[in-house]
Structure 1
């Protein structure tokens, strides 16, 4: 009888140790999380850092970065409106603003990078196709005198109507209409070359 109580007590201590070990977790600054139970989200997103508790063994914690992340696209050759081909290499900064929606719609940061690539590459391609080469390579804030003095011919210099910065902003606006359904916010989009 004494041995049975001893094994029962050891078993209870082991179960309590597992409950404490697996039940508590730490959410660090710069992280956000979603609790899943058998693969399905339970409750709301957890956005504040600190020591948290979940049901041991049954529930799992899915961690997501709260910081600004960088998407770096591959260079693509795209035709402009004036039928000139140009290599466009884009980069964007983004973050996860709704971890629950992000988990349900996308799942992982790697899949989000692929999704952002599809969205941004398509948007860039559409806007580059609608603009002439001069609009894409020049910024609209260059003074016309500066452009004329560098080329040495006033006939060749026409001030850009849109400009590179405005096209970049248009890409951001167009892509930002799509990304909220995935729990993602685009911070900015830039052309590297």
Structure 2
């Protein structure tokens, strides 16, 4: 009787154990997750990345769940010197994901460890990149219009500062370098951006002064071009006016010549028809042009000019 009770107790215990193992050992993997199964801290199978049911042994095996989605990282403001010795505070933003969960687990154990290692990588690469370039490369992405145009100012040739790299290219450089180092941790870095840059007080004043100077240089360039265009238009106007005046003078002289010729012809015809009348008219014309109220002339009595004056008596 005692043996039967013991056997029954063992059977019940076995059933309970099986139920417990089944209940506690069957799990469901959600879409955004991936799992590493470990036994006494060591991985015992390949990572489970497909959504659905999976099984582990309770008590002796553990599940380590990681996110498959893109994760965010934001650095703390870091003061960094640029190549031209300007100090700025840089805050970076990055997107990353766990590309190789097995390697990730073996290197950093969990996501907080991954964040810490990624922070070390990004901080070092950002410091290195910022130190290799001038401040202008951190605040602009491309060269602005007229930035490479020489502007004559007070006898000196000034060239607006141009970029060597540009902010976006600098971000891509940091991304490439960080991705290479993070791959050994099972991490894929998707994007890196300089979220915010602030200047220390001395640099801020210098930046504002440079911005004002560049705006003034560009404004001077516009003024110079406007003055040049005005001079060109004025020159064209003067040239066109001179051409019009020349053509008008030539036309007037032509008309005057024709009129003089016509007058000469008419005078000739008149002279041919009545020479005495022509002589009389010519004499009157000479009188009109030569004499006025204050004119005193001493002439011989036989002068032709006195011919008609004498007849008036």
Normalising by structure 1, what TM-score? 0.90
Higher strand proportion (structure 1 or 2): 1
Contact 1:22 1:57 in 2 (8 A): no
Structure 2 Cα separation of the partners of residues 56 and 147 of structure 1: 70
In the alignment, which residue of structure 1 is the partner of 2:109?
107
Structure 2 Cα separation of the partners of residues 158 and 189 of structure 1: 26
Matched, 1:172 2:175: yes
In the alignment, which residue of structure 2 is the partner of 1:86?
88
In the alignment, which residue of structure 2 is the partner of 1:48?
50
Gaps of 5+ in 1: 149-153
The residue correspondences of 1:19-34 to structure 2 (distance < 5 A) are 19-34=21-36
Deviation at 1:102, TM superposition (A): 0.4
Over the aligned positions, Cα root-mean-square deviation in angstroms equals 1.9
Higher helix proportion (structure 1 or 2): 2
> CA 1:147/1:77 → structure 2, altered by over 3 Å: closer, same or farther?
farther
Find the partner of 2:185 among 179, 182, 185. Answer: 182
In the alignment, which residue of structure 1 is the partner of 2:274?
none
In the alignment, which residue of structure 2 is the partner of 1:144?
145
Contact 1:90 1:191 in 2 (8 A): yes
Normalising by structure 2, what TM-score? 0.57
**Bigger RCO of structures 1 and 2 (CA < 8 A, at least 6 apart):** 1
SS in 2 for 1:178: helix
Gaps of 5+ in 2: 150-156, 197-313
SS in 2 for 1:89: strand
Deviation at 1:161, TM superposition (A): 2.2
Structure 1 Cα separation of the partners of residues 88 and 139 of structure 2: 10
